[in-house]
Chain A
Amino acid sequence: MKRKKWNYNLTIGLILTTIVVLMAVVGHFWTPYGPTDMNSMLKNAAPSLAHPFGNDNFGRDILSRIMNGMGTTCFVALCTVGIGVVFGTIIGAITGFFGGWLDEIIMRLNDALSAFPSVLLALIFISLLGPGRNNIIFALGILFIPSFARIVRSEIIRYKELEFVKSAQVMGAGKLRIIFVHILPNALVSMLTSATVGFNNAVLAEASMSYLGLGVQPPEPSLGLMLSDAQAFLQIAPWYAIFPGLTIVMIILGFSMISEGLRVYQAR
């Protein structure tokens, strides 16, 4: 009954994510060609040994631009998750443990927000704040707080009723000690899973917004922006769209497989 099954989700996810992280980190310091170097000889050139992902309409090396753009995408997603995790944990822990009117308000707000897709909400934010990388981070980060707070809150509520937490209370442990030392280590896997989901949503949202021209603004590199530019040349240079697109898929797939793998791991 307990034959160990290969956790293919976790393995593949880790491999993909490692590749992504490596490319993004290396791309920050070094790229095969200058990401903005134009070469009029190579306009819309097909992939070759020298330029494995081909060249765009200005003759720029697509691989180099992808490596650069991944950095931006991951940076935006990481900041988003960071904002959500920090504030979400604090809010979730407080509301979950103490309940009361603050809890009621936050949960109502959360219910209302969760009915709307994050891309739509981010669009509304951007229309108020104006486009740009930092505004995107701000908008997506704020939007991620309630959903992360909800996870932390439900975990806190679940554990709060368990007997080991009650016995910590009986022995006289303080409330903060109970939340951070007794409960949160148990909630780590759920929080991690939820953070990966948040990361993916941020990647998707950033790419979509940049594609629509409302996210990262040129000349800053972004995968969504590249796809937006590539659309006009879809017929003559499909590689211009395919490689940045596949990169986004790889980033998201890696993280979602890790999260699925973690879920399977926890279920055992």
Chain B
Amino acid sequence: MLTRTPMALLIGAAAMFAAAPIFIAYAPNEATMGLVYKIVYFHVPAWFMMFLAIFVCGIASGIYLFKERVSADRLAYSAAEVAVLFGAIGLTTGPLWARVSWGVWWPWDVRTTLALILEMTFVAYLLLRKYGGPGSEKLSAGLALFGMFNVPFVYVSVNVWRTLHPQTTVVPQLPSAMAGPLWWCVVAYLLLFVVMISGRRRLEEQRAIVERLRLVYDED
């Protein structure tokens, strides 16, 4: 199970999430979108965490590929799973916002399509790890690097191509009454991220010990 520090972080994250609606309720509504804009408090931090998980996965995969450190590979695998989870949160909360403010669940514009492709890239990573057999670690590390290099394209896509999605300038320009609850949620998500990564990494380490012990028995 989770050790003491991740458990404390998890309780902290749960407390912050439980308190988030109070701050969100006090935040003002956006002028054109009204109340539904407040989905931003759950949607944007999910993408921040997905991008962060992808960077962790990509960098760890690079270390594994070039330095052959097995611990980096375990971290990459853990981060990929967490990236898929946060991507799923982003991909499900986004359409709820889109349906009310744009009139459609899914507009198939550049941002949404690229985000979906990024999510599918890391789903492919997980499938490759599970069913790819021996050697799939290196293949999936390459895939993770490809996914990581896609992140900047996803991020700036709203500024480069014509899309319904709000631009990247929105978050830095939020007034403090709106930015406060957003950063509160970002911190809560960050705590969740840390707990998830450490828990998932622990699982990989335990699995590695089991595999090693099994090998020892098989040799005997």
Are the chains A and B members of one assembly? no
Listed in ascending order, the chain B residues whose CB lies under 8 Å from chain A are none
